[in-house]
Each structure stands twice: as structure tokens, then as C-alpha cells.
Structure 1
């Protein structure tokens, strides 16, 4: 039996606004961060989770790599039971902690074999250069989490499981590294354009609009209306892959909105 409620009848349904899958958003969030919370199963208190701060780097399949000491409590826990989870959260915007995206990878953690150490070392040091001072210590070793399942939360009401296969096949959003700069520019220099785009594409009586996220397919806005704060997603005219392409599309959209 479905646990979803039936939607009210709408004689003029709108097509869904395209947006990245949960798998792509999960890969993007993991890509943007490099420190997470690792939960292992405690040896001292059997059955209880034990949380640790854990720097990580990602291999080509999005699997987290760890450089950890044999003396660390989480390493001892993993040697006894490889089951673990890794939690990563997006920085909260405007103090809205529960509105921030987050992802949990659940899987088994195992030490890398000797033949994979060189590649892991190179990947890890790119993400954590300071680790060069202890990476070759004999009591440190590389471990990797092999995801068995992934759970993504995109904020209020946006959540779902992602299969390990879908997660591995996905790629980080091409705008991930430039997204904050795009948001800052649009919100600081083009607030009027955001209001116009929101009124045109989201059909909301926007008094003000703030771009809260952007990706290759479109962007989200937080909108102040006479009826209160609302959220909306606005699709791009076409998929983009660079900040320059994003700017070009936004200029076209604003021009069309003004002409309309």
C-alpha cells in the first residue's frame, strides 16, 4: 500500500520542473565537503554508535577515503566490525540548520590493499595537503567506505534513499564549485531580475526573491509574497555547465521576461 496521499485534482497540471536526482545531489554534497562525521560500532559499549570527526577524500566512484591511525578508537571499532555510516551536511544558510542539505552513506569500511595505496595517497593529499607530514607514518593506513546505501535530505520535505549503484554512476554538478559566487552575484547585483523571473516563471507575486541554490538545470528561490515566504524552483532554458553559460542563459531569460 502506498504511503502517499492522493493529490487534489488539478485540471491544468504543470509539468514537473527538471532538477538533479537525489543521487547527483548526494555526489555534489560529498564533493563539496571534505570533513564528515563517521559513526562506527563501539567495542567498549557493544551496539552503541561511536561518532568521530573524519576528514575524507573521494575516489572516482565517490567512495570516501580515510587516512586513520591504528591507535584511533574508530579504527579499533572498524577492525572489530566494518559496518559504519558517514554523515555530511551543507553549511546552514541564514541559520536554517534543518533546511540545509545532508547525506548519509551507509556501508563497510576496510583497509586498502597495498597495490591501491599509491593512488589513494595522491587523491587524499590533494584534498588534505597537510597530511603529507604523517601520511607515511607506519601507524597510519588508508581505509575506504564501500557504500551499501545512501540517504539524502534536501531540506524540508525533500528526502529519499539512493541506491549504491545510482550514487556511483552519478557525477557532481558542474556548477558546484562556482555556485556560491553565482548566488552572491545574483542576490547582490540583480535582485530586481530575480523578482521578475519569479513572477514570470513561478507565477508568484514576489515582493523580493533570493536565489538559494543553483545547478546545471535551474535554481531555487526563497520568495517574499503578500501571503508570506514561499519557495520555488525555476528551470533554465537549457542545461548549463559553466558560470559563463549560466550568465548567458539568465540574461536571455530576463530579456524574454521583460518582453513578455
Structure 2
């Protein structure tokens, strides 16, 4: 297995933490595929969400050129880039390489659909059209460019979240999302603004995994990273109570 290598990363810059944050926060990515018959490079734009372990989820029309390319050759690259004022190259971006797998097994497809629509609710308008399909991206490598002089390279095992032993947490995700979004809006606002550094807004939680919460306010996103790994509902409850106390103090 390839080990993680951090290149030109001045302390105290944490390249892996930046890469993990981009993987969870960025809602759209540049997708590069290889067009038959000669492997001509082809780039487009796609919406992206993540599975609990961080693997990207794509929802694509099977009539699209890039989807046909992937049916011929599943290799791809995704560029997740943070935008902002000033020089675009001063902002961090994460390049992923790997393979796309169309998901048709009903239970697994339903899980991908729930995660994707939590991040992109407007996609519910066409998610079940006959020509659309959900794809799991198996990451091989990731390259972070965090801005000038800040880089890192990671394999999938280093970048992704360990979900071993977290079945109880993941199986209860839907109920936890509904409860938190209905009854704990004040706490979510604290998590987003005080702990995750986001602007004030109507924040909701869109995803839960052992490493943290994915938060969204319309087109804005934030990531709350847990200080310790959480694997079940009781651990999640205790963690969120402690984080709310920390934010209020």
C-alpha cells in the first residue's frame, strides 16, 4: 500500500486535514474522463456528495457523454476546488483519481440516494428518472494543492474515514438528521459559526459519520470535525452535547 507523503508543507499547516475538509465540503467538481476510442481527455462539471467513509457519490445521466466514457473506461479524475476572492490559485483544491462504479443494488442505491439528496435536495426532481444513475467513486490517490507552497499526496486508506464498527451510528443517521434539524437548530448554528468558522445562517446537518458532521445552509457548506471518533448513537449524543457546551463557552 502506498504511504501518505506530505510535500512542501510548512508547519503548522495540516495537509491531510485540509484534504479531508475539501472532500466533505465541496458540492461540485470538475470531472475528467477518457473518451473512446483513443482516450482523448474530456472534462465536465458534476455535483458531488460523499458516502459515510468519504467516497464520492455522483448522480449522472446515462445519456451524457462523460457517463458513456465511464462505461467504456471507468477511470476518472475529480477536482474539488474552493473558490474565493483574489487569485484562484491561492485557494486550496483536491485532485482525486480512481474509478467509477454504477450502483444498481436497491439497498445500496437507496443509501447513496439519501446521502446525495441531503446535500443536493433539488436533484430529487430527476434522481429517479430512468436515464439517471448513482455512481460510487473508488478513490486510488489524492493530491492536495493548498495554495502556494502547500501540498500533500495521500492514498485512499489515509484520506477516507474508517467506518469499521460504526454500523449503529450509520443505521441511525436518518433519524438523527431529522431530530437534529427539527429540534436543535440553535446548536447547529453554534457548530457551524463558532466551531466550523462559517457565517450565520439557517444551518442544517446533511450527513453524519464517525469523524464529524456535514452542515449546509443553502449553497453554503461547513464541516464539524469531532475531536474523537464516534461509532454509535449514544456516543454521538455525548459528543454533540460537549461540543455545544464548548461553543457556548
- Answer yes or no: same fold by TM over 0.5: yes
Residues 25-84 of structure 1 show CA distances to partners (whole Å, capped at 9, x for unaligned) of 11211211111100000126x232110110011001111111111100000000000000
RMSD: 3.1
Q: 1:126 aligns with which of 110, 118, 123?
A: 118
Q: For 1:23 and 1:82, how far apart are their aligned partners in 2?
A: 26
Instruction: Map 1:222-237 onto structure 2 (within 5 A).
Output: none
Q: 1:95 aligns with which of 82, 86, 101?
A: 86
Q: 2:77 aligns with which of 81, 85, 91?
A: 85
CA contact (8 A) 1:62 1:168 kept: yes
Residues 83-119 of structure 1 show CA distances to partners (whole Å, capped at 9, x for unaligned) of 0000011113x31211100001100001013131111
Give the unaligned 5+ runs of structure 2: 1-6, 164-190, 201-223, 226-241
Is the radius of gyration larger for structure 1 or structure 2? Answer: 1
Instruction: Find the counterpart in structure 1 of residue 197 from structure 2.
Output: 179
CA contact (8 A) 2:192 2:198 kept: no
TM-score normalised per structure 1: 0.59
Say which SS state the counterpart of residue 84 (structure 1) adopts: strand
Q: Residue 118 and residue 81 in structure 1: after superposition, are their counterparts in 2 closer, same or farther (change >3 A)?
A: same
Greater relative contact order (Cα < 8 A, sep 6+): 2
Instruction: Find the counterpart in structure 1 of residue 144 from structure 2.
Output: 152
Q: 1:39 aligns with which of 32, 41, 53?
A: 32
Which ranges of 4 or more aligned residues in structure 1 deviate by more than 3 Å? Answer: 174-178, 241-248
Instruction: Find the counterpart in structure 2 of residue 167 from structure 1.
Output: 159
Q: For 1:156 and 1:28, how far apart are their aligned partners in 2?
A: 18
Instruction: Find the counterpart in structure 1 of residue 96 from structure 2.
Output: 105
CA contact (8 A) 1:66 1:144 kept: yes
Matched residues, number: 175
Q: For 1:152 and 1:162, how far apart are their aligned partners in 2?
A: 8
TM-score normalised per structure 2: 0.62
